[in-house]
Amino acid sequence: MDLMDIFSKYVDLTETDIRMLNPLVWAYVGDAVYEVFVRSYLISTERKNSHDLHVKSIKYVKARSQSEFLALIEPELTEEEQNIVRRGRNTKTYHVPKNADVIDYRRATAFEALIGYLYLMKRYDRIDTIMQLILNKAAQ
């Protein structure tokens, strides 16, 4: 049994339940999933201490970067994924960090919503495809 199978035991939701969740819930989950992907990637490619890894991870997880990554993957998204992104982008957030642009923050929320939605729907291969696009771009 792999890690994703273990994690999925704890998601006791039907596809209908998942579709009905508030997009901010998708983003909440997507933030964590994306962070684990980024950290896993960095520890396998960088031989640094935890502080340096944290500093490097900011390049991937800040709102502006996530907004740019969303722009990169948007042409590759299915119609369903585009709808998830639209819902995530248009959801009212209650605060925007002072170091983030409002538009970037909304697009970052949309990106995280997409990752969270795909995770909850157990579409791990799709997350992997998206992460490959992002990591290849970020490595340039």
pLDDT digits (tens, 9 = 90+) for 85-124: 999 999 887 777 777 788 899 999 999 999 999 999 999 9
Domain membership of residue 4 (yes or no) is no
Q: What percent of the chain has pLDDT over 90?
A: 66
For residue 59, the Cα-to-chain-centroid distance in whole angstroms is 14
Nearest to 91 by CA among 14, 11, 22, 1: 22
Q: Measured over all CA atoms, what is the biggest interatomic distance in the chain, rounded to whole angstroms?
A: 43
CB atoms within 10 A of CB 60: 19
In this prediction, what percent of the chain has a pLDDT beyond 70? 97
Residues 20-39 have pLDDT tens digits of 999 999 999 999 999 999 99
**Domain annotation covers residue 114:** yes
Rounded Cα gap, residues 122 and 120, in angstroms: 5
* CA-angle at 80, arms to 78 and 85, nearest 5°: 90
Active site residues: 31
Number of domains the chain is built from: 1
Backbone angles phi, psi at 112, to 5 degrees: -65, -35
- Does residue 109 contact residue 88 with C-beta atoms inside 8 Å? yes
pTM of the model: 0.92
CATH code, 111 = 1.10.1520.10
What pLDDT, on a 0 to 100 scale, did the predictor assign at position 5? 74
Positions of E strands within 4-120 = none
In this structure, are residues 47 and 131 in contact, taking their beta carbons and an 8 Å threshold? no
Closest CA to 114 of 126, 102, 132: 126
- C-alpha dihedral, 106 to 95 to 114 to 3, nearest 10°: 150
Q: Which two tokens stand for residue 91?
A: 């959801």
In a domain, 37, yes or no: yes
pLDDT of residue 32: 96
**Inside any domain, residue 65:** yes
* Domain range enclosing 37: 14-138
Task: Tell me, yes or no, whether 117 lies in a domain.
Answer: yes
